[in-house]
Amino acid sequence: MMNRVARIRGTGAYLPEKVLTNQDLEQMVDTSDEWIFTRTGMKERRLAGPDEFTSGMGAKAALAAIEDSGLTVDEIDFILVATLTPDYIFPSTACLIQQLLGAKKAASLDIQAACTGYLYALSLAKSFIESGAYRHILVVAAEKLSSITNYKDRSTCVLFGDGASACVVSSEGEGLAIQSVRLGSDGEQAELLIQPAGGCRLPASAETVAGDQHYIKMAGNEVFKHAVRRMESACKECIDAAQIDELDISWVVPHQANIRIIDAIAKRFKHLSPERVYKTVQKYGNTSASSVGIALHELRKEQSLQEGERILLTAFGAGLTWGAALLQAQR
Ligand code: ACO
């Protein structure tokens, strides 16, 4: 049987223009630039406009990724969209993006794995390609987190931003080979990070709106501890699965939830200088599913990756969910 290799052959990102700074937040809730920066590493984040939605931001990132891949929209076989802020509960945001792109032959599917969604989507794309089922898969991660953020709750509203990322995963062409992916979940901790209302347990009602139950609720401290532990172990499993050594990694691209979480992960990679743990948290905050893809796209644009260089992606989010993926630059 032919040995197919799934590779990322194009990436893209889209960030809305409007910037929300720490100083802006000081006017909205009882917080300070100093608190936000020292506790999270964030200085600013982006906000989508009132007529800008997850589908539209995702489509813009997708078009950039398709152009970067050298393919055309008509060649896309499948669209996988990772988001926790879909335009609607149904139909899927993937179908809306399919329509916006005019990707007529593509099948479309949403994935709900919160901040780990990009890695869950990559894992599915890898399997689809390696099985021979499809040749060109568009992975999109897009979030309008501002639509579910309570701008009266200082413990969450300083953290989140809007944005989108995308990549094209193909069976052919130059790019970043997806060498191994490791994923995990723990539904026991589902309530640590949750949007309580709007589903079938608590359908939208005057009471749920009055009780702010359509907003993100997070037990930040608890989540923090799980995030560090789970991403560390996912990275180790992913490296072991590829039968390589930590020394073989050139870049680590972690989920951009908090600089202190990123620094804790970075400590694990003793041979890597801190600049090799890629960060966008200071300028975009936490964009949930989109965050790893935005960072990977910016890394590819800033650095000319050499043949053979390895990049480790890792993410963590609601569910709880977590994962890691190992990529290698190949011509
Ligand atoms: N400004 C000023 N003070 C604040 C703010 C704020 N914005 N927010 C909280 N505080 C206060 C608290 O009220 C508390 O005060 P108290 O001691 O008087 O009670 C104090 O600061 C400390 O609060 P903690 O919650 O203990 O602060 P911590 O250092 O844990 O930082 C944070 C909070 C940034 C949320 C951190 O816990 C974190 O990053 N958690 C992980 C987030 C994450 O990884 N999420 C996963 C992915 S997101 C997704 O899936 C959608």
What residues line ligand 1, using a CB cutoff of 6 Å? 31, 35-36, 39-40, 114-115, 154-155, 158, 193, 220-221, 223-224, 227, 257-258, 261, 286, 288, 316-318
Over residues 225-234, the pLDDT tens digits come to 999 999 999 9
Q: Mean pLDDT throughout 68-83?
A: 98
pLDDT > 70? residue 177: yes
238 has catalytic annotation: no
Of 95, 115, 157, 235, the active-site residue reads: 115
Contact 245, 234 (CB under 8 A): no
150 has catalytic annotation: no
CA 175 from chain center: how many Å?
Answer: 19
Q: Which helix (H) or strand (E) holds 322?
A: strand 321-330
CA distances to 59, 63, 81, 240, 281 from 166, in Å: 9, 8, 9, 27, 18
Q: How confident is the model at residue 240 (pLDDT cuts 50, 70, 90)?
A: very high
The protein residue whose alpha carbon is closest to atom 32 in ligand 1 is 220
Q: How confident is the model at residue 25 (pLDDT cuts 50, 70, 90)?
A: very high
Rounded-to-integer distance, Cα 31 and Cα 93, Å: 34
Of 95, 157, 258, 286, the active-site residue reads: 286
Rounded-to-integer distance, Cα 69 and Cα 275, Å: 27
pLDDT > 90? residue 301: yes
Q: DSSP code of 304? A: -
Q: Which helix (H) or strand (E) holds 222?
A: helix 220-241
Q: What percent of the chain has pLDDT over 90?
A: 96
Q: How confident is the model at residue 331 (pLDDT cuts 50, 70, 90)?
A: confident
pLDDT > 80? residue 9: yes
**Which residues are registered as beta bridge partners of 209?**
none
Over residues 103-142, the pLDDT tens digits come to 999 999 999 999 999 999 999 999 999 999 999 999 999 9
Q: Mean pLDDT throughout 71-96?
A: 98
Q: pLDDT at position 270, please?
A: 87
Q: Mean pLDDT throughout 30-59?
A: 98
Q: pLDDT at position 196, please?
A: 98
What is the pTM assigned to this prediction?
0.96
Q: Give the sign of the dihedral formed by CA 203, CA 207, CA 209, CA 211.
A: negative
Q: pLDDT at position 2, please?
A: 64
pLDDT > 70? residue 96: yes
Q: How confident is the model at residue 318 (pLDDT cuts 50, 70, 90)?
A: very high
Q: DSSP code of 306? A: P
Q: How confident is the model at residue 166 (pLDDT cuts 50, 70, 90)?
A: very high
Contact 224, 39 (CB under 8 A): no
Q: Which residues contact 127 (CB under 8 A, 6 or more apart)?
A: none
Atom of ligand 1 nearest to the CA of 40: 34
Phi, psi angles (nearest 5°) of residue 303: -115, 140
Q: Which helix (H) or strand (E) holds 119?
A: helix 117-131
Q: Ligand 1 centre and the CA of 323: distance in Å?
A: 23
User: In 10 A of CB 194, how many CB atoms?
Assistant: 16
Q: pLDDT at position 3, please?
A: 79
Q: Ligand 1 centre and the CA of 222: distance in Å?
A: 10
| Residue 180 one-letter amino acid | S
CA distances to 7, 8, 47, 80, 137 from 126, in Å: 8, 9, 32, 12, 9
Q: How confident is the model at residue 278 (pLDDT cuts 50, 70, 90)?
A: very high
Q: Mean pLDDT throughout 158-174?
A: 97
Number of H helices, E strands in the chain: 11, 13
Q: Mean pLDDT throughout 36-55?
A: 98
Q: What percent of the chain has pLDDT over 70?
A: 99
pLDDT > 90? residue 149: yes
